[in-house]
Amino acid sequence: MFKTIKSKFIFVTVVFIILSVSIPTFFLLTQFKKNFHQRSETMLKATLYVVNNGILNEMKLPGEHKNIQHVIDNIAELKSISHIRILDNNGIIKYSTIVNERDKKLADLDSHHFDETGSYNTTINFIDKHKVYSSIQPIKNETFCQSCHKEGNTIAYLDVDIHLTPAERAFYTGSMHIILLSLVVIIILTFGFYILFNSFINKPLTRFMRALDSVNSGKLDIFLPAEKEDEFGKIEGHFNRMVKHLRESMEQIDEMHFEQLQRADKMVTLGELAAEMSHEINNPAGIIMSRIDYLLLEAEDNKFLKNYFEDFKVLQQQIEKVSTITGNILKYSKKLPRNVHAINLGQLVENSLRILEPQIQKHNITIKREYTCESTCDKSRILGDPQQIEQILINIINNAIDSIRKSGEILIGIKCLSEGDIQLTLSDNGIGMSEEIRSQIFSPFFTTKSPEKGTGLGLYIVKKICDSHNAEIFCFSEESIGTTFIITFIGERDKV
């Protein structure tokens, strides 16, 4: 329900305003009502006391005809008194400031003077209908009264009703006005806070959220005004700078991407040229090889040529080496369709090493082999595309060669695991990598090499080939120590 800041703010603000206005209003109304009620009770008690004493004093006078009516009439002249009645024990009104009430039953005139049992209610009550405070008090049968009133403790009942004061009447009539005024204040404050929130918080926040959505969708030409000097102005300024940096970074990434694609295209062209050159070299190499074979045969019988027999042998070995290198280049450069079958991983490693032999010798690198399978030729067989697996080996070994600045060592291990899994390990003692770099090596176009040496696609392609062959690849590296790649080829249970 309250998912947005706007809805939460409005709810909390309304609750806060209602509590802030209604609690003091309720407290003031309750306190005023209590004060007025206490004042009216005091006034009513005082009136009862005065009337009662006046009646008793009148009854002390000799004679049967007491001027009680005159006493209550004089006291009733006070504006605050509504009326005064004196009742006998049967509830008949004997004296009253209202002439037409005399000799009538009080129960027929005002039922509020009686409780649920039908007895007189002697407590002080506020009669909302007449807006008066009312109370009935028994007139005790004092000693001096017993000459006329022989029996009982109570000779009569005194009923006094007093009006509300102007302040009380204004209070009771104005209470509803105060409540309505409180509601108006609540509405005005709520509306005012809403306008303030909408102007100073909601609008800038909505504008900022729309700008973030635009950036998230790839639009980096968004710009916020950032005209104000408040917090939102600072946020918008930071946002504009962030978008500017993102735009510049994207332009640089696009530029680098384009350069790397150009580099990749050049590498493809260079590979094709190398394949063509290898093919062209093979033709004269074949002629030279056949001529040397002929000279070796002639040297067996010709004494003059026999002196150069060993030289011819060296030439034959070297030209065979040239032919092997060009043959491997041609084999590696061919775009063959993916052909998955059982291949010998050990033999594939040796083929890759022959292709990279010139670079290995140039950098004075030692190759160490640890083939722990019982029979490498029989056991180290995996299911896969030999050309793609060879691409994995060449990429990783070539990176190892680049990481070794001087003479170093590359360790290649093949280990047979349980259930027919084969583990290939390629380790070097080169410069190694930091954890930050290691976490990005399989990302496309990520490279630490110079633009002339790397495109950032090698290990990305290696990871893709491993995934397509259901093989797991892990890299462990430490700066100044070296790097190790571990590739586990799943056995027969999970064929590619």
In this structure, are residues 43 and 162 in contact, taking their beta carbons and an 8 Å threshold?
yes
Q: What is the mean pLDDT of residues 199-219?
A: 84
pTM, entire model: 0.44
Where b means 16+ CB within 10 Å and e means fewer, 359-395 reads ebeebebeeeeebebeebeebbbbbbbbbbbbbbbbb
Strands 154-163 and 132-140 come out as: antiparallel
Please, which pLDDT band fits residue 496 given cuts at 50, 70 and 90?
very low
Strands 409-416 and 366-371 come out as: parallel
- The count of domains in the chain is 3
Radius of gyration of the chain (CA): 56
Residue 476 burial (CB count, 10 A): 14
Choose the final residue of a domain: 309, 335, 361: 335
The answer as to whether 366 is a domain residue is yes
User: 149 and 40 share a domain?
Assistant: yes
* Token output for 381: 């067989």
User: 225 and 291 share a domain?
Assistant: yes
Residue 208 three-state SS: helix
* The predicted structure's pLDDT at residue 172: 67
The answer as to whether 213 is a domain residue is no
Residue 168 pLDDT > 50: yes
In which residue are the tokens 């030999």 written?
386
Q: Over the stretch 449-467, which tens digit does the pLDDT of each residue have?
A: 776 666 677 888 899 899 9
User: 369 and 320 share a domain?
Assistant: no
* Token output for 484: 């190790």
Choose the final residue of a domain: 314, 335, 356: 335
Q: Over the stretch 72-128, which tens digit does the pLDDT of each residue have?
A: 888 888 777 888 888 888 888 888 888 888 888 887 777 777 766 667 767 777 777
User: 279 and 421 share a domain?
Assistant: no
| Containing structural domain, residue 22 | 5-172
Residue 468 pLDDT > 50: yes
Domain of 166, CATH number, reads 3.30.450.20
* Token output for 68: 């009680």
User: 9 and 148 share a domain?
Assistant: yes
Please, which pLDDT band fits residue 70 given cuts at 50, 70 and 90?
confident
Q: What is the mean pLDDT of residues 47-70?
A: 74
Residue 58 pLDDT > 90: no
Which of 121, 147, 144 is CA-nearest to residue 134? Answer: 121
Q: Over the stretch 267-326, which tens digit does the pLDDT of each residue have?
A: 676 776 777 777 778 778 888 888 888 888 888 878 778 788 888 888 888 888 787 777
Residue 433 burial (CB count, 10 A): 21
Return the H-helix or E-strand segment holding 139.
strand 132-140
